Amino acid sequence: MATSVLRRNNVQLLGQGEQTIVFAHGFGSDQTAWRHQVAAFKDRYRIVLFDHVGAGKSDFAAYSPRRYSSLYSYAEDLLDLCAELKLRQCTLVGHSVSGMVSLLAALIEPQYFKLLIFISASPRYLNDVGYIGGFEQADLDSLYAAMSANYHAWASGFAPIAMGNPERPELATEFANTLAAIRPDIAQAVARVIFQSDHRAELPRLKIPTVILQASNDIAVPNEVGKYLAAHIPQSQLVPIDAKGHLPHLSAPDVVTQAVATCLAV
């Protein structure tokens, strides 16, 4: 079990310290996206990095559309990892979809977590009555069609929009490269699972203290979403950060690192 879990998710252990931070990446990314934060925290904290199945250097053979048909399966993988490493009361920093993955994991096995930090997280991407998620179904259908027609062309076009820092094209290139590294069939299936998900009903059940880091000009997660999370998670705090785009840990690493450090110091 140990070998299979650690290999499946390409688990890496770094740093030293009594407290553990688990960094969980978002869609189209992998654990290398956390390199700036790892450099900042590895001298004082034990750090756990991993790749979701289908991303990075995870075991692609472990992926199946049936197994990963909802975010609960990714939450189960996270709990497998926590159990194998015998984690307790760790801090989990989850980017994008990993925010809701960590929320679901914390609802099932809360003893593993003492603090959740969401970066660009959303419980629902579709607009609804009285709710602004950022997308209409027609928007998402167009996105799926573009991914299906020419995945690599879609990745090259989507990356700069998601990154949101046009004056620094190298950031978009990095994100495009990690997007392109995903098998197109997996990327399309995972995108549908993420964008069609709705976990608003689970938010009030979360009992773990949660900090919501919200950047500006995020195409996937409007400011209204951050406010919605803060209003519906009982022990939560919304912290606007001076960063733009959907991947602030890459585009404004010092800002995100300082925000995380402030959370850890409380």
Amino acid 2: pLDDT: 53
246 tagged catalytic? yes
Closest CA to 195 of 117, 143, 119: 143
CATH number at residue 6: 3.40.50.1820
Whole-model pTM?
A: 0.97
- Between CA 83 and CA 97 the distance in angstroms is 21
Query: What stretches of 150-238 show up as alpha helix (H) in DSSP?
Result: 151-163, 169-180, 184-195, 223-232
30 tagged catalytic? no
Tell me the residue range of the domain where 169 lies: 2-265
218 tagged catalytic? yes
Average pLDDT over residues 206-211: 98
pLDDT(181) > 70? yes
Amino acid 1: pLDDT: 47
Token code pair at residue 108 = 């099932």
Domain total for the chain? 1
Marked catalytic residue, from 120, 246, 249, 251:
246
pLDDT in tens, 119-170: 999 999 999 999 999 999 999 999 999 999 999 999 999 999 999 999 999 9
- Percent helix, strand and coil across the chain, each to the nearest 5: 50, 20, 30
pLDDT in tens, 14-43: 998 999 999 999 999 999 999 999 999 999
Average pLDDT over residues 187-208: 98
